[in-house]
Structure 1
Amino acid sequence: MIVNPQLFNYKLIIGSLIVALVALSVFSFTTYESEKAQQHFLKQEQQLVEHELSEMLDKYDAISDSSDLLSQQLMVAKNSTKSALEKLRLLEGDFSVFSRFKSDFSELKSRNNVLFKTIDSLASAHNNLKLDHQNTVSSLNQEKKSNASLLETNATLNKKIESGSKLTANSIQATVFKIGIPSVETSKASQANRIDVCFTLAENALTEPGSKEIYIQILNPLNNVIADKGAITFGESLLLYSDKQLITYNNKSIQVCTSIVAKENDKPFAKGVYFVNVFHKDRKLGATQVVLN
């Protein structure tokens, strides 16, 4: 069999071209798929970084809206994050450029994390101080309430002590005697000349001991003072009295008696009820009454 060399060469060249075309097609397809996968990966990475940057900005906004801890350093970091996000959105699908950007992003992220931790620490300290302040205010309010309660209790006790320490008189008796017969009692107005008043100053350990001014006042049915000895003023009070006794009081019960002789202008006594009042200064200790016919 005779082989034509020229025809054989053509076949060989055509076969080589076919193989080359197939190899080029396979390489192109592989390269395309690889680039497509790389672009897809790059897009995913960009989305992840963009999401992280957006979260950082949201966190900065939350801090600036709800806290007074925003400083110049925080503002600078926020502006840097905004700038990084804008650059990322302008990037085209260049893997080498994105790699450099991601390196810068890692450094920015590291700085931001340190700043966020500092802010969280300051916020925690601020909250603790706020809680301490609230507890202090609550304690002070509780102490004020306790003090107010104690003051009220003390005031009540002081009133009770003051009331309990007051001088008191009991067993007040008034006896009317005849004219000219000093020892003979009478109930007739026309015969009356003298009124004897007796009473007991009660025992009281709370009363301040010492000299006590005791005033006896006798009022006739016309409301005039019998045996008027004058008047004494206590503040805005005016007391007209019939007799004054200066008693030394030592916290023990003591009997007091006095004779009050009518003046000429008091006679003759009017018929009716005579009121006998006993005072310590301007405070009334007790009273009794007698009726003359």
Structure 2
Amino acid sequence: MENQKNNSSLKAIIIVLSILLVGSLIFMYKMSTDTKEVQTKLEKTLTEKQQLEADLKEKIASYDAAIADNTSIKGELEAERAKVVDLLSQVQKTKDDNKAALSRFKEDYRKLKREHDALLAENNKLKEENATLTTQRDSTMTALGESKKYNDTLVNQNENLSKTVEKAQKLQILNVHTQPYKERSSGKLIQTDKASRVDKVRISFTIAANEVAPAGNRTYYVQIIDPKNNVIGEKATEVFGDQTLTYSFITNAIFQNKTITVDELVAGKDFAKGLYTVNIFDKGVNVANTTFTLR
């Protein structure tokens, strides 16, 4: 009887221990499951945070590239970039398991992303427009450059043509001759080269034919210089720019594009022995000269 009682007690203990063991196993399994679930949620939260940080850093880099384009919306890009930088700083400071804060940050990020996408689209459009304007400007500058070269060429050609025409219109003075004379009382001129007898000098020259020179009156200033470097004749003066010309006489010729000869007599007295120089001027330009000698 005693043994039966002991066996019953032992069975009761075994049953209780079995129940406790099963309960412990169940509790341990639940704890393990809860821990894994918490860990999984934590890992998921951490992964989402890391992804959010990566996305934010990507948007900052994107803004940096857009700002470097230096378009007209640079100020707006910089302002939005500052917002992204601020959000990244908040995310980095938040604990890894703060799911509520992470959810709020993700919502803020979505708003900033929409603004980012809109601004980047506008920036790209402005870049394309600027590129088109730059191409058009370069084309215009090239065209202007070519036009300027062409105009410069025309100007040079016109200048050269003008110089050629001007040069061609210059009248050529040829065959300058001199002849000293003694005038008798009858008016007859006797050739002589003896200084004491000379009282007149004939100066003659030819104006060559020129088809392109304008016809009309031509004025020439003739200068005769004696051996003592004195100008004989009228000894009048004329100013051409900064040059003053003392001349012996003026001769006028009516030029009609054909060859003509100019012939003038210059009276004088007390002619000295030696070398005389005759210069012919077209305004202030010496166009011909010759010499003669009296003994």
Matches of 1:218 and 1:67 in 2, distance apart?
Answer: 79
* 2:180 pairs with one of 176, 185, 188: 176
Residue 193 (structure 1) aligned with residue 199 (structure 2): yes
* 2:234 pairs with one of 221, 228, 231: 228
Q: Secondary structure at the match of 2:250?
A: strand
Aligned to 1:88: 91
Matches of 1:63 and 1:258 in 2, distance apart?
Answer: 90
* 1:166 pairs with one of 156, 165, 170: 170
TM-superposed CA distance for 1:172, in Å, is 0.9
Matches of 1:209 and 1:150 in 2, distance apart?
Answer: 29
Distance change >3 Å, CA 140–CA 7, structure 1 → 2? same
Counterpart of 2:274, as a letter, is G
TM (norm. structure 2) is 0.79
8 Å CA contact retained: 2:204, 2:263:
yes
TM (norm. structure 1) is 0.79
Aligned to 2:14: 11
Moved more, 78-87 or 11-20: 78-87
Give the 5 Å matches for 1:129-140.
129-130=133-134, 132-133=136-137, 136=140, 140=144
* 2:110 pairs with one of 89, 106, 124: 106
TM-superposed CA distance for 1:256, in Å, is 1.9
Aligned to 1:55: 58
Distance change >3 Å, CA 114–CA 178, structure 1 → 2? same
TM-superposed CA distance for 1:67, in Å, is 2.8
Aligned to 2:49: 46
* 2:283 pairs with one of 262, 266, 281: 281
TM-superposed CA distance for 1:128, in Å, is 4.3
Residue 259 (structure 1) aligned with residue 265 (structure 2): yes
8 Å CA contact retained: 1:209, 1:249:
yes
* 2:219 pairs with one of 213, 222, 237: 213
Q: Secondary structure at the match of 2:31?
A: helix
8 Å CA contact retained: 1:230, 1:240:
yes
Identity of aligned residues (%): 27
Moved more, 59-68 or 12-21: 59-68
8 Å CA contact retained: 1:167, 1:285:
no
Gaps of 5+ in 1: none
RMSD of aligned alpha carbons: 3.4
Matches of 2:75 and 2:220 in 1, distance apart?
Answer: 84
8 Å CA contact retained: 2:176, 2:203:
yes
Matches of 1:133 and 1:71 in 2, distance apart?
Answer: 23
Counterpart of 1:225, as a letter, is V
Aligned to 1:271: 273
Distance change >3 Å, CA 175–CA 153, structure 1 → 2? same
Moved more, 145-154 or 241-250: 145-154
8 Å CA contact retained: 2:71, 2:127:
no
TM-superposed CA distance for 1:83, in Å, is 4.1
Residues 102-157 of structure 1 deviation map (CA, whole Å, 9 limit, x = unaligned)? 34423432332222222232244345445554565565566556655654554444
Aligned to 2:120: 116
Residue 243 (structure 1) aligned with residue 249 (structure 2): yes
Q: Secondary structure at the match of 1:190?
A: coil
Q: Secondary structure at the match of 1:15?
A: helix
8 Å CA contact retained: 2:214, 2:257:
yes
Residues 55-91 of structure 1 deviation map (CA, whole Å, 9 limit, x = unaligned)? 3234445655763634675455334424432432314
TM-superposed CA distance for 1:290, in Å, is 1.0
Moved more, 53-62 or 194-203: 53-62
Distance change >3 Å, CA 9–CA 131, structure 1 → 2? same
8 Å CA contact retained: 1:175, 1:185:
yes
Q: Secondary structure at the match of 1:192?
A: coil
Counterpart of 1:38, as a letter, is K
Counterpart of 1:25, as a letter, is M
